[in-house]
Amino acid sequence: MSRAAVLAGLGTYVPPRVVTNDDLSRDMDTSDEWIRSRTGIAQRHWAQPGTATGDLAVEAGERALKSAGSGDVDLVVVATTTPDHPCPATAPDVAHRLGLNAVAAYDIAAVCSGFVYAMASAAGAIAAGIAERVLVIGAETYSTILNPADRTTSVIFGDGAGAVVLRAGEPSEPGALLGHDLGSDGSLKDLIIVPAGGSRHPAGAAAESGARPAETYFHMEGKPVFRHAVTRMAASSRAILDRAGWAPESVDWFVGHQANVRILHAVADQLGMARGRTVVNLDRVGNTSAASIPLALGDAASRGLLTPGDRVLMSAFGGGLTWGSTALVWPRIVTG
Ligand code: UT7
Q: Given the DSSP bridges, would you call strands 159-169 and 104-108 parallel, antiparallel or unpaired?
A: unpaired
Same domain, 94 and 130: yes
Q: 28 alpha carbon to ligand 1 midpoint, in Å?
A: 14
What number of other Cβ atoms are within 10 A of residue 276's Cβ? 6
Closest CA to 32 of 20, 44, 16, 19: 20
For the segment 52-74, what is each residue's pLDDT rounded down to a tens digit? 999 999 999 999 999 999 889 99
16 inside domain = yes
Domain membership of residue 211 (yes or no) is no
List 45, 112, 180, 260, catalytic entry: 112
Residues 6+ apart with CB under 8 A from 26: none
| Domain-ending residue, one of 169, 198, 229 | 169
Q: Whole-angstrom Cα distance, residue 233 to residue 269?
A: 12
Cα of 134 from ligand 1 centre, angstroms: 38
**Best residue among 140, 194, 226 to mutate for probing ligand 1, ranked by most atoms within 8 Å of CB:** 226
Sign of CA dihedral 57, 59, 63, 66: positive
> CA 264, CA 256: separation in Å to the nearest integer?
6
Residue 209 confidence (pLDDT): 63
Q: Is residue 113 part of a domain?
A: yes
150 and 52 within one domain = yes
Atom of ligand 1 at shortest range from CA of 192: 2
Q: Report the C-alpha gap between 212 and 147 in whole angstroms.
A: 9
Ligand 1 mean position, distance from CA 153 (Å) = 8
Are 149 and 287 in a shared domain?
no
One domain for residues 128 and 243: no
Q: How many A from CA of 154 to the centre of ligand 1? A: 11
Give CA 135 to chain center in angstroms. 14
pLDDT at position 319:
98
Q: Which atom of ligand 1 is nearest to the CA of 152?
A: 44
- Report if residue 90 sits inside a domain: yes
Residue 1 has pLDDT above 70, yes or no: no
Which residues sit opposite 45 in a β-bridge? 18
- The pLDDT tens digits of the residues spanning 276-324 come to 999 999 999 999 999 999 999 999 999 999 999 999 999 999 999 999 9
Q: How far apart are CA 24 and CA 298, in angstroms?
A: 26
Which atom of ligand 1 is closest in space to residue 155's alpha carbon? 48
The pLDDT of residue 208: 57
> Do 14 and 56 reside in the same domain of the chain?
yes
Residue 336 in domain: no
User: Which pLDDT belongs to residue 129?
Assistant: 96
In this structure, is residue 203 part of a structural domain? no
More reliable by pLDDT, 335 or 237: 237
pLDDT for the residue 2: 84
Q: Which of 21, 260, 281, 287 is catalytic?
A: 287
pLDDT score, position 71: 86
Please report whether residue 230 resides in a domain: yes
Is the pLDDT reported for residue 89 higher than 90? yes
Output phi, psi for 56, to 5 deg. Answer: -70, -40
Distance between Cα 70 and ligand 1 center (Å): 44
Q: In what order do the strands lie in the sheet with 311-318?
A: 180-184, 322-329, 311-318, 253-256
122-175 pLDDT, tens digit per residue, is 999 999 999 999 999 999 999 999 999 999 999 999 999 999 999 999 999 999
Range(s) of the domain holding residue 21: 4-169
150 and 225 in a common domain = no
Q: Among this protein's residues, is 257 annotated catalytic?
A: yes
Q: Whose CA is nearest to atom 47 of ligand 1?
A: 30
Predicted local confidence at residue 277, as pLDDT: 97
Cβ atoms 117, 324 nearer than 8 A: yes
Whether residues 160 and 236 fall in one domain: no
Are 146 and 184 within one domain? no
Residue whose Cα lies nearest atom 36 of ligand 1: it is 152
Give the residue, by CA position, lying nearest to ligand 1 atom 3. Answer: 318
> What is the predicted pLDDT for the residue at 203?
79
Prediction pTM value: 0.97
Q: How many domains does the chain have?
A: 2
* Substitution site in 30, 38, 323 for ligand 1 pocket (most atoms within 8 Å of beta carbon): 38
pLDDT of the residue at 206: 53
Q: pLDDT by residue (tens digit) across 107-119?
A: 999 999 999 999 9
Q: What's the gap in Å between 221 CA and the centre of ligand 1?
A: 9
Does residue 87 have an active-site annotation?
no
Q: Are residues 129 and 184 in the same domain?
A: no
> Are 92 and 234 part of one and the same domain?
no
Identify the domain boundary among 169, 204, 237. 169
Q: Is 6 helix (H, G, I), strand (E, B) or coil?
A: strand
Rounded CA gap, 197 and 15, in Å? 26
Which protein residues touch ligand 1 with a CB less than 6 Å away? Answer: 30, 34, 38-39, 112, 151-152, 155-156, 222-223, 225-226, 229, 259-260, 263, 287, 289, 317-318
Residue 285 is assigned to a structural domain of this protein: yes
Looking at residue 204, what is its pLDDT? 66
Q: Are residues 155 and 222 in the same domain?
A: no
Catalytic residue selected from 45, 257, 260, 281 = 257
Query: What is the structure's pLDDT at 115?
Result: 98
**Do 17 and 125 belong to one domain?**
yes
Confidence of residue 33 (pLDDT cuts 50, 70, 90): very high
Q: Determine the average pLDDT of the residues in 235-245.
A: 97
Rounded mean pLDDT, 8-28: 97
List Cα–Cα distances, 226 to 79, 192, 329, in angstroms. 22, 11, 29
CATH number at residue 99: 3.40.47.10
287 is an active site residue: yes
- What's the pLDDT tens digit per position in 38-55? 999 999 999 999 999 999
pLDDT in tens, 177-236: 999 999 999 999 999 999 999 999 997 655 556 788 899 999 999 999 999 999 999 999
Cα–Cα distance measured from residue 104 to residue 124, given in angstroms and rounded to the nearest whole number: 14
